[in-house]
């Protein structure tokens, strides 16, 4: 028996942005699939409805891959795939497998010989990079910076040096409720001429994307409390 296909289905970055997020092929795909592995069942069901799902949601099989279910036997998520059923993998927002725990399931799919098909959709990381004006040919996503203050300062100094000497763009994120503390640290630690792009609430009605020097940011500090954001450092080599 042939295996099913694992479709990687991007979810919108914010509510109320279906036209910015869903392609016709994605809509066709979700109306073909009856089984999903999702990071958050509530938001997944909402996004599927917003995308134009016509299948009654009561007919769907949805596996919860949230933080409380991640250590379960992953083979349970693959029973449908191994039986020949196509399955969709959805992150809570953005692209599955990118800054997302779903990468573990994609890796297992390859190990099992299951075909993996990524669908086009929004990625806050790439959208922020596109809008930053920085080097898009050499960049690195650093994920979350250390929580420890001393380690965080050390890491920021390393990234600043790397960006300045190599011209490589450095991207990173923070838990939204700690964004303002991160900005405060950036303004204290980084050189005044260092370039910083802050991209917040991408695709939302209050989208905010600006690139300024550290010195310029000190004159007008944004309030990013509880707003999803991408931070990008760049120094012209």
pTM of structure: 0.90
Domains 5-118 and 124-234 share a fold: no
Q: Which fold has domain 5-118?
A: Cobalt-precorrin-4 Transmethylase; domain 1 (3.40.1010)
* Interatomic CA distance for residues 146 and 187, integer angstroms: 17
User: One digit per residue, pLDDT tens: the chain, 237 residues?
Assistant: 689 999 999 999 988 888 888 999 999 999 999 999 999 899 999 999 999 999 999 999 999 887 655 566 678 889 999 999 999 999 999 999 998 888 999 999 999 999 999 999 999 999 999 999 999 999 999 999 999 999 999 999 999 999 999 999 999 999 999 999 999 999 999 999 999 999 999 999 999 999 999 999 999 999 999 999 999 999 875
* Interatomic CA distance for residues 11 and 93, integer angstroms: 5
Copy the structure tokens of residue 48: 């599927």
Domain 124-234 has CATH 3.30.950.10: yes
Q: How many CB atoms lie within 10 A of CB 229?
A: 21
pLDDT on residue 101: 84
- Hey, where are the domains in the chain? 5-118, 124-234
pLDDT on residue 75: 80
Residue 212 φ/ψ, nearest 5 degrees: -145, 165
Q: Write down the residue that tokens 């083979």 correspond to.
A: 75
């Amino acid at each position: 028996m042939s295996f099913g296909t694992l479709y990687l289905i991007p979810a919108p970055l914010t509510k109320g942005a279906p036209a910015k997020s869903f392609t016709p092929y994605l809509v066709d795909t979700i109306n073909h699939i009856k089984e999903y592995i999702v990071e958050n069942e509530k938001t997944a069901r909402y996004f599927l409805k917003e995308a134009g799902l016509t299948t009654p949601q009561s007919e769907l099989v949805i596996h919860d891959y949230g933080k409380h279910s991640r250590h379960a036997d992953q083979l349970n998520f693959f029973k449908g795939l191994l039986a020949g059923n196509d399955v969709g993998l959805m992150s809570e927002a953005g692209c599955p497998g990118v800054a997302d725990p779903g990468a573990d399931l994609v890796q297992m799919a390859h190990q099992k010989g299951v075909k993996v098909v990524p669908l086009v959709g929004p990625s806050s990381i790439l959208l922020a990079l596109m809008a930053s004006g920085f080097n898009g040919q050499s960049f690195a996503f650093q994920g979350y910076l250390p929580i420890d203050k001393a380690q965080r300062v050390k890491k920021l100094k390393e990234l600043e040096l790397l960006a300045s000497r190599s011209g490589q763009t450095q991207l990173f994120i923070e838990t939204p409720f700690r964004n303002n503390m991160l900005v405060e640290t950036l303004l204290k630690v980084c050189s005044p001429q260092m370039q910083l792009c802050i991209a917040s609430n991408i695709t939302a009605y209050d989208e905010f994307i600006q690139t300024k020097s550290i010195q310029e940011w000190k004159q007008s500090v944004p309030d990013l409390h509880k707003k999803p954001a991408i931070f990008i450092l760049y120094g012209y080599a």
